[in-house]
């Protein structure tokens, strides 16, 4: 969720409200699909599979059995958060009424003590707080808090927030009475409690978050946060924990937490994320692997992990507004995150591998339904990540065609009108209108743009990559950015075993892949030389830039192993082929297909 910065974040003012930013470019399609297709469809699936009936049964409004899918309450809460943020952008009376009816249902379900979790009702009531390591009780409560805060910030109404406060007070009393002696096995409630403190001013929620952070996390090496030396264990849990610790530091200023956060971030960047921005390389435990353990075919890269990573990166940016946080945020956003949903907004990936033999397909529904509503709430809140404000300065973090009206702490209102075809084109035109006093714009220059031109209407300069470029503006100004969006070949660290002697191709922020539907050869027996690629815009898959080039495909005439007579010479049989690549986010949208990102690099081959 979009959070409010804390006392010790460098960016002090509140986030730019979602309703203040109207996206009309690349992401407008996804926002519309989210609003008109994804959110309504998931509600119907919740009705079909019993997610909402669980509350009706628990409230005594309907007879039947609870669908015992662990943590399914959190799926509804995330969906309600998505609706709240979407109403912030585009108010709709029928959706607002539906949300109000669900809030009434949740209120009927909540016990007088404040406890609420439909899984632990009926005969399962005796199991409450007996398995915090795996039971997700506090995890569900954390999502309840976040959803209620989103609704409160959208509508100004407090009745949903009151439900969350009642639950939080119940849990707080349990901890104060030492009836609960450990934290939840799935971190999440920590960041929710800090945000509840920011919303209500009740410092007890902040202290409870701190208490949890000092307890060991069983699925993350059985250590408390300050004892951790690397990102490890379940990827989503690890990222949610880092979010909670970031929020706690933002309020407490305890430097030990910031130093630990930086250590963990450096460990992540040193060898534990994919070129797509995906994280979590192991199916076992949905977890991080060792440094450089980044398999492609068996990459796990859960959708929720990409979302959790972006949530953490945003928080780190608030703590120190440096561009590398949003560089990685952008990578995850355009690649691992967007790939997780079909272009029609109906199906989802739970796992996002970097290659596929053709068996990996998106689905309408998963028994563990965390990813679809998580995608929906993040997408609905996306306009709130584009800008950040501090005093008389505005940070421009992401680029898409949009119109924004941003209020500064002084009360001055700044209008920004951005015209661009980003990410397909590197030209960005920013029209600003501000009072006759100095305002500063901090424009993110992506690390992948090696030659960026900035023109503020007076002078043209070349900006270095990987920074925020500061511009002073007064009154109405036209700014032009020209990013170097061109196809580039990437190699990985030689210790990444899966990618040795291989290359991947990116164009601006977008990772490209080979899909067998476009190529009449075996994409798993294929190599490319470094060359100039042909970039061509095509009206397929909603409109994309496709890349074309020449490579070498195997003839499949080789035994599994053979003696190397002269290992300096190639012993393989190849033929020249023409290849086509599409953005990774668009794969698996036409038919069942094979896919690969990393392919062998070769300097020379001869037809044989």
Task: Give residue limits of the domains in the chain.
Answer: 18-384, 390-482, 489-600
pLDDT digits (tens, 9 = 90+) for 112-138: 999 999 999 999 999 999 999 999 999
- Looking at residue 557, its pLDDT comes to 66
pLDDT digits (tens, 9 = 90+) for 149-196: 999 999 999 999 999 999 999 999 999 999 999 999 999 999 999 999
Interatomic CA distance for residues 514 and 594, integer angstroms:
8
* Band of pLDDT at residue 562, cut at 50, 70 and 90: confident
- Looking at residue 211, its pLDDT comes to 97
* Band of pLDDT at residue 570, cut at 50, 70 and 90: low
Which residues, in sequence order, are CB contacts of 382 under 8 Å at separation 6+?
23, 27, 31
* Band of pLDDT at residue 276, cut at 50, 70 and 90: very high
- Pick the range with the lowest mean pLDDT from 19-33, 220-234, 430-444: 430-444
- Looking at residue 277, its pLDDT comes to 98
Question: Mean pLDDT score of the chain, rounded to an integer?
Answer: 94
pLDDT at 566 exceeding the cut of 80: no
pLDDT at 361 exceeding the cut of 50: yes
pLDDT at 607 exceeding the cut of 50: no
Rounded mean pLDDT, 285-297: 97
Q: Judge contact between 281 and 353, C-beta under 8 A.
A: no
pTM reported for the whole predicted model = 0.96
Same fold, 18-384 and 390-482: no
| Terminal CA-CA length for the chain | 57
Q: Give the DSSP H/E element, type plus range, for residue 155.
A: helix 137-155
By CB atoms closer than 10 A (0-12, 13-18, 19+), residue 322 is middle
CATH 2.40.10 fits 390-482, yes or no: no
% of residues, the chain, pLDDT over 70: 97
Rounded mean pLDDT, 505-526: 96
Q: Judge contact between 574 and 553, C-beta under 8 A.
A: yes
Q: Give the DSSP H/E element, type plus range, for residue 548.
A: strand 544-554
pLDDT digits (tens, 9 = 90+) for 140-154: 999 999 999 999 999
pLDDT at 497 exceeding the cut of 80: yes
487 phi/psi in degrees, rounded to 5: -70, 135
Supply the DSSP string of 484-511, one letter for each residue.
---EEEE---TT-GGGTTEEEEEETTEE
Sheet strands (E) in 391-458: 393-396, 402-407, 413-420, 427-433, 439-445, 452-455
Q: Across-strand partners of 454?
A: 461, 481
pLDDT at 528 exceeding the cut of 80: yes
Q: Is the peptide bond before 394 cis (omega within 30 degrees of 0)?
A: no
CATH class for the region spanning 18-384: mainly alpha
The 3-state DSSP class for residue 574 equals strand
Sign of the alpha-carbon dihedral angle for 162, 168, 170, 173? negative
pLDDT digits (tens, 9 = 90+) for 3-49: 777 787 777 666 789 999 999 999 999 999 999 999 999 999 999 99
* Band of pLDDT at residue 458, cut at 50, 70 and 90: confident
The 3-state DSSP class for residue 287 equals strand
Rounded mean pLDDT, 571-581: 83
- Pick the range with the lowest mean pLDDT from 49-53, 295-299, 506-510, 567-571: 567-571
* Band of pLDDT at residue 608, cut at 50, 70 and 90: very low
Rounded mean pLDDT, 375-381: 98
% of residues, the chain, pLDDT over 90: 88
Instruction: Compute CA distances 5 → 16, 197, 241, 262, 474, whole Å.
Output: 11, 12, 17, 18, 27
- Looking at residue 13, its pLDDT comes to 61
Sheet strands (E) in 281-437: 355-356, 387-390, 393-396, 402-407, 413-420, 427-433
């Amino acid at each position: 969720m979009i959070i409010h910065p804390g006392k010790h974040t460098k960016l002090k003012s509140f986030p730019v409200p979602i309703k203040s930013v109207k996206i009309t470019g690349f992401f407008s399609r996804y926002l519309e699909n989210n609003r008109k297709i994804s959110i309504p469809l998931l509600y119907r699936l919740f009705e079909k599979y019993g997610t909402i009936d669980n509350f009706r049964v628990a409230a005594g409004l309907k007879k039947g059995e609870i669908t015992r899918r662990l943590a399914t309450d959190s799926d509804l809460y995330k969906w309600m958060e998505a609706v709240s943020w979407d109403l912030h952008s585009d108010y709709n009376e029928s959706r607002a009424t539906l949300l109000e009816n669900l809030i009434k249902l949740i209120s009927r379900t909540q016990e007088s003590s404040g406890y609420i979790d439909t899984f632990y009702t009926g005969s399962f009531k005796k199991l409450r707080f007996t398995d915090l390591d795996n039971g997700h009780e506090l995890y569900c409560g954390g999502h309840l808090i976040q959803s209620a805060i989103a609704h409160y910030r959208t509508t100004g109404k407090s009745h949903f927030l009151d439900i969350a406060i009642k639950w939080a007070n119940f849990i707080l009393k349990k901890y104060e009475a030492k009836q609960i002696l450990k934290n939840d096995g799935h971190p999440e409630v920590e960041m929710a409690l800090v945000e509840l403190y920011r919303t209500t001013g009740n410092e007890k929620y902040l202290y409870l978050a701190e208490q949890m952070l000092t307890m060991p996390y069983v699925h993350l090496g059985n250590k408390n946060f300050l004892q951790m030396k690397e990102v490890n264990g379940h990827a989503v849990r690890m990222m949610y924990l880092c979010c909670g610790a970031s929020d706690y530091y933002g309020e407490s200023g305890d430097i030990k937490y910031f130093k630990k956060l930086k250590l963990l971030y450096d460990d992540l960047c040193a060898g534990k994320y994919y070129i797509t921005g995906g994280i979590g390389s192991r199916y076992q435990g949905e977890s991080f692997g060792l440094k450089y353990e980044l398999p492609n075919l068996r990459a796990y890269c859960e959708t929720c992990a990409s979302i959790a990573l972006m949530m953490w990166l945003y928080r780190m940016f608030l703590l120190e507004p440096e561009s590398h946080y949003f560089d990685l945020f952008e990578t995850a956003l355009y690649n691992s995150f967007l790939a997780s949903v079909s272009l029609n907004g109906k199906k989802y990936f739970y796992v996002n591998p970097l290659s596929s033999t053709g068996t990996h397909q998106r689905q309408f529904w998963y028994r563990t339904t965390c990813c679809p509503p998580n995608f929906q709430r993040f997408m609905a809140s996306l306009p709130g990540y584009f800008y950040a404000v501090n005093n008389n300065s505005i940070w421009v973090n992401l680029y898409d065609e949009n119109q924004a009206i941003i209020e500064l702490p002084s009360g001055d209102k700044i209008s920004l009108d951005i015209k661009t075809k980003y990410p397909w084109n590197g030209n960005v035109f920013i029209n600003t209108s501000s009072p006759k006093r100095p305002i500063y714009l901090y424009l993110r220059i992506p690390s992948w743009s090696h030659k960026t031109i900035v023109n503020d209407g007076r002078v043209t300069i070349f900006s270095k990559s990987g920074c925020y470029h500061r511009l002073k503006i007064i009154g109405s100004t036209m700014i032009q950015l020209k990013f170097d969006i061109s196809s580039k070949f990437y190699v990985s660290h030689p210790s990444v075993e899966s990618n040795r002697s291989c290359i991947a191709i990116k164009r601006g922020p977008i990772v490209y892949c080979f899909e067998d539907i476009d190529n009449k050869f075996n994409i798993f027996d294929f190599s490319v030389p470094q060359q100039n690629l042909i970039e061509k815009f095509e009206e397929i898959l909603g409109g994309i830039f496709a890349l074309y080039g020449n490579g070498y495909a195997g003839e499949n005439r080789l035994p599994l192993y053979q003696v190397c007579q002269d290992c300096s010479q190639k012993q393989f049989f190849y033929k020249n082929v023409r290849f086509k690549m599409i953005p990774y986010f668009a794969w698996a949208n036409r038919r069942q297909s094979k896919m690969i990102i990393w392919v062998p690099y070769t300097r020379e081959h001869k037809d044989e």
